Structures are given as C-alpha cells and as structure tokens.
Structure 1
Amino acid sequence: MFVLLLLVPAVSVSACNFGDNNWALGCDFPGNDFKNLQIPGEQCGQACVDDARCTHFTWNTYKRGTCWLKEGQASDIVCNNDRSFVCGQIVHKNCKPNFGDQNWAFQCDFPGNDIRNVKVEASECGQACSDDARCTHFAWNKYDGCWLKDTKKLFTDAVCTRNPSDICGCVRDCEEAGETFKHCKPEFGDKSWALRCEFPGEGFKTVQVPASGCGPTCLWDTRCTHFSWTSANNGSCVLKSGRIAFSDAICTKDFDTVCGCERNCSRDNSLQKLAWNQEFKKSEDGLDIEILLDFGNGPKLYRIGYYQNDIPQAPCMTPGTKIQGQCRFLRHCVLEGFHADFDEFLQHARVCEDGYVS
C-alpha cells in the first residue's frame, strides 16, 4: 500500500502575532498598493476578499480610517507596535495546492462532505481513509486531526488553508483535470509491481489478503501470471492468467490499488520493438511466426519452433547460425512466446531446415 510519509516544516511566528487568524495588530505590509478605501477596520479584510486583485491589506487611522488594498506577493511584514494599524493576508486568494504527482499536498483542504473524525497523526490520515470503504478524500489539521470525506472532486477543487502543516489528499475516485489522467502510465521501474494501477480483464480467483500478500498469492498458484489488488472488502487480490506486458497496465482513479506480474512478463511490446521488419512475418494462417533466411539457396521463409528436450521431431538450427539440434515444433504457441518475452523467445527459437513442419 502507499505510505504517506510527511516531513512537517517548522512554522515561524512573527513578532506581529497572527495566531490562528489571517490578520494581526500593530503591523504593515509596505508597498504594492493599488486602491484605498475609507472604511472601518473590521470591513477591510472583506473588502480585500471582494476584490479579485487583492491578496493582502493594511488598515490604519489615516483620514479617520483607510483600508489599503494590495496585490502580488506580500512583502516582509513590518511590526510598528502601533495597535491602530491592522494588516492581513487572504491566503487562499489565487492559491492552488501543489499535488505534483502525489495524492496529497500541504496547506490545503477539501471543504465539506465529512464522514467522521479520527484522532491520528498526519502520517496516518491517508491510511485511515484507505481503511474506510466510504472514504474517498481526507484532510488533516493539528486541531481536529483527520477528517474522512466522501466526495467526488478534482484535485483542482482543493483550497489553500492558513496553516502550513495542514494536509489534504485523495485515495479513491481521484479525478484529475485535463490530460493528466489520460496520459498516466504506471511506473514499475525494475520491480514486478506498481501502485495505482490494474491489469484489465477478468480474473479466475479473488482472495482476501493485504496488498503485500497479493504477489506471493499469485506465485503460489501456478495458474496465475499477473494480479490486481484493491482495498475493497478489506483487501481483494484478483488473480489473472495469460500473456501480458507491463505496458498493458493502466492507471486507476484510486490511489490504493496495486498491480503486478509474476510470470511470463514482458517489459516492452516486442511486436512494436521489431516493427515487423523483413525478417519476421506471420504465417499464412496468422497463428505462428516465420522468419526469412538465406542459407545459400536464396531467401526462404522458415517456420519457427521452440527447442525443448522432449519428443524431438525434426532437425533444426538457431536462426542466423549453423548450430544444429533437435526441436519440438508446437503449432500456434510460438506467437504467444513472441509477444510475451522476446529475449526468452530468441533463446528457445529454432528453425526447421526444410522450412516446413507438419
């Protein structure tokens, strides 16, 4: 399963004490003024909220009360110890939480749609959501802990919050705007499994095990070649069988999924890799592979078979060499091997010298 690892940064507190508010007394943000209004101090923050350009503000007693609306990045705060001054920031204005390629971000929230509250550490909130089948999104703050939520929202629907240690994220039904999800590809690297993915198609068996037990369960069943795991029903491992390439895996909208391949797994699409060049062709019936070779009597198509130690049927040689041997040609199975793992295919491939196998 994914593990939410968090390094919560230290929060510096200015001498002008904002506390849990977005404003403080005795302070100023110099510069960046674009407008001023003669209004009472308690209306200045709302005036900034109502103006799309405004990101921060200062109020003082100039002309019996002036609200200075400011734009852009707030400058360094100046503490003047004059409590007739008020300054503040509209922290959510023009702010978008930065998820990157993660399913969580700092200083954000998905407002509303709360299921329940759980008193856990920030690093445990994502897992708490994953463990509750109703939960799709979550938010954590230092006051209330972890809020589990049931909602279908885009990552772009997340809003910024004041506290840098706040966290929000998505576990299931995680919608991404634009082309992000369309072009998503699971990242296996050099591993046999990846997060947030599945192999399409029906399975032959479903086993209730944790995510960490799905791969071993597939290995123990000789029919299983690949698998997909979800958190449904406290962990469901779907065992599947058939030739597959890692590139066949697709991303899911749920981040608490796992997929993997344990047998006959190809790292790339061999047919695309070879692009059906002049050497390899399909047989006329479309069920086997033939190779175009010239052994001195002109180029000729030869049927390819797999070398095996049992029941030799015809003399054969390794393509491109003069290594003689015996092989058993298995009709209609060579194409599958060609698809599944081209390196293994080359190790076992042999060609019949007379170009024909009955």
Structure 2
Amino acid sequence: MLPVTTSAPPSTPSPSLCLPAKANYDFPGNAISYVSSRQFKDCCAECTSTYGCNFYVWTDYNSGTCWLKSKQGSDKVLSFGSRAAFAPGGGVASTCSPVEVNTDYAGVDIVGVAGPLDTCCDACKANYKCNAYSWFNGVCYLKGKRHGASPNSHVQTARVYKCAAPQVNTDYVGNDIGSVVAEAAEDCCAVCRSTAKCKAYSYAQGVCYLKSAKGVTKSNGGVTSASPTPLLAVDLRQTIKWFSSRHLFALMRRVDLSICDTTGSMGTYLPALKASLRQVFLVAKLLFHGRLMVHIVSYKDYCDGNGLLSTVSRRTSRNDAIVKFVDDLKPTGGGDFPEAVKTALNHVIMTVDDIRATVSATSRALVFLYTDAPPHHQTTRSNNQSREIEAIQDNPKYRGGHDWFQLQRTLQDLGIPVYTFHSPTRDYLSPSFYGAMGPTVILPQLSSTIITEATMGLLLQLMAQTFEVTIGSNFARSSFTHKGEPFDQSFSAQDETDI
C-alpha cells in the first residue's frame, strides 16, 4: 500500500480500441511479453500500452494470462477457451521530452556521440542504457538518467522516456522491491530500467516505488504508474533466420567498406580493433551467408611510400583471408598527426564506381571508419598535405577531390553513408571533421569489447533489429575549443576555408 491518503472513484472504462476477438484459437510464437490477467478484456489495455505489441492471446494458463505478441503469425491451433485480438498502434514508443535550454544533467554519462542537437533524441533512443542526454559543443552526451539538473548557459538537455504510457491515478499494488526519491514520475522510468528485477513502478509524493511485477491495479488519486517497454531479446539464430528471409535479397549486393587508420599513433587502438573485426566478420558471415562483399582499406600517410594504402576484398564466405589481412596490420608510419584519410575515401569512391560499372549498378555501400586523427587540412600545412593534394588531382578516378566537404557531398550523392568510430579525444578537430562527414561515435575507451559492441550494435540497428549499443564505461566530457572560444559544430561549411 502506498502512503497516499487521497483516493478517486474508478473511472468509466473507455470503449475498447482492439478489434473483435477470435474465440477458441491460439496463434503460437511472436510473444514479446506476458501478463497475468483473470479476464480477457484486460489484455487490450496491456497490449496498447506495451511497445511492439500488435496482437494478443488470452489463455487460462496460471488462472489467466495475456500473451502479448508482435504479430499474429501464420500458424493457428485449436485451444478451447482461448481468445485472440488485434491491437492498433504497436504500443507506445520511446519519446523525448522538450529540450531544457541552458540546463545540464550532472554525471551518469554513457557515451558521447558527435552530432547536432536534433540528432540526440534518436541517438538516445538507439542506446538501451540511455534515458536522457545533454548536448554541448557538437556532442550528444548520452546519460543513464536525469540527475542533478543545474543551470549552464552552454548546455541543452532532455529526458527520453522509455516506458509504457503512464496510468494516472492508478496504483500497482504490492511487489515492492525498493523506493527512490525523484522529482517527477517520468524520472521513475529511468530508475526502474536501471534497477535489477524492476518491472514496474508507482510514483507518489516524490517517491518512486519500484516493483518486481505490475500485479493488481487499483484506483488511487495522486499516484502515477507505468512499466518499462520490454527489450525484445535478440537470439542470433532467429536474427539470422529473420534477416535471411526478409532482407537478404535486397542487400546481398551491398558492399561493406571498412577503413582503418594504421599509423603509429594507432598503437593502442589497432590491437583492440583487430580483435573486434575478427568477431564482426564472423557474425557477418553468419548473417549474410557469405554473400556480403567486404573491402578493407588500411591507410597511412604520404611519407610511407608504397605502404600508403593496402586493401583486401573478399566475400564473407572467405573469412580466413579477411582475418589474415587484419592480423597482418601493423601500427607504423605517419609523418604528422593528420593522416591520408582523404586518399582512403577517394579509394572507396573509386572502388564503388568500379563495382557499379562492372558488377551491378544497384550495388550499395556502407563505410565504417576507424581512426584517431583528423584529415590533412589548411591549418596543418606540410609536405604530406601538399603531396596528398597533388596525388588526388593527378588521379582521374579520385573524383571526390581533396576538399573535405567536396568529399562529403560526393559520398552523399553516391548514397554511401560513413560511420566513424573515433578514439577518445579532448581535441575539437577530429570530431568536427568526422561529424560533418556522418554519424560519429567517440569511444569511451579502446577495448575490443567496446569496439565490437559499438560496431555490431550499429550494424544490427541498420538491419532494423532491436539490438542496443550498451557501452558501460563513463565518458569524460571533452571541452572543445577553437581559438579560445567554444566550438560550435552546427556551422554550415561549403569548403575547408570556412573552418
């Protein structure tokens, strides 16, 4: 019993949103959750308030159970006493609250993702552990919860709500496992999602009452209750079966290009990356049944002679050749901190052009870029920069050019998205360049586990799977500055001279 003295009479039930029931049939499979319920009529509300639920079946199992499902499924079996129905809308998706201007949330950082403010909401939705974010200097700092809000003129923040629609004036009776003080009912969602065994909560008088189950509900004025939206479990075998049957044909001609900076400064990054790539390629081999063509481009700098670029191209069915190439990569060379990434990206454009001209005009490409350094540009003039400009101008197939923003526009015109995985940094330069090229993940630390989780999480999200990037380490906030002033990454640059 919650310590709330006021109460309200039960509200009049609204007409059911769910379609007419099908009696005496069960539809096996596709379950995402189940809820104890003595009556079939209660299942509609359970399904419409559960993210991903589009269909449900009530059976007399355990004195009554609502089986919440993502879809009906094609199989049907006689089951006397069972009843099934459709629910519209697919449940309640995660939502972002209005941005709190000039406000910071202290600590609880998960990871930083470079990008403009309007990308932070989607970045948080895509990370299972994220329940809020703060945006500062062109980086979305994803957070486990809203905590310690304080004034800060350079920061903008928001909650991201990942629970079912709140049930106002409703109490979930019993099943308490703990309580936490909170400013608002919405904050209970993040607390419950990050607490082991918490499946629901009720909020009253500034306290979140965490519960192991939703249990029985009753009308109680001043109490707001909800439960986290379930994370659909990802079974690798089912993922492979689903992807093969639905999307493999559409993407079987996709070309995956992985670009790796292998200069001397990558001495810590590269060993962890090599271990990660071996795991990623193994899973890709299973997912795509060997039909995915993988190209790896290793780049250094123009002081490294013939070692400037090295490449391998293999279908994932020939995984051994890919793994051997990765194992042989060594962190050597590099004459200055910026490296020849423009040359590597031009090589990508040339490769895709050749494939589309000789193999299939409909081939699609996806680039994963792993680096710790920015490209050559006007503020780091050197022999390597001038040599790179000359080499790109002399190669007619390098049509991306030597200007970073021209490269970005060429890749965009070709429909080639670039995703960058950058080493931890406190320098504004690399995040600003790679953030302009495309989504950029600033890794919190250089370990094979972190790199694998980030890469596979992104890959499976692009496949429309419910799989979250769960990076557990804290991310130390970078203070990006340019000429002593905070760096604004929301600029609109036409070429490098605008920087």
Provide the TM-score with structure 2 as the length reference: 0.19
Query: When you count helix as a share of all residues, which structure comes out higher?
Result: 2
Structure (1 or 2) with the larger CA radius of gyration: 1
Indicate the structure whose relative CO is greater, using CA pairs within 8 Å and at least 6 residues apart: 2
Provide the TM-score with structure 1 as the length reference: 0.24
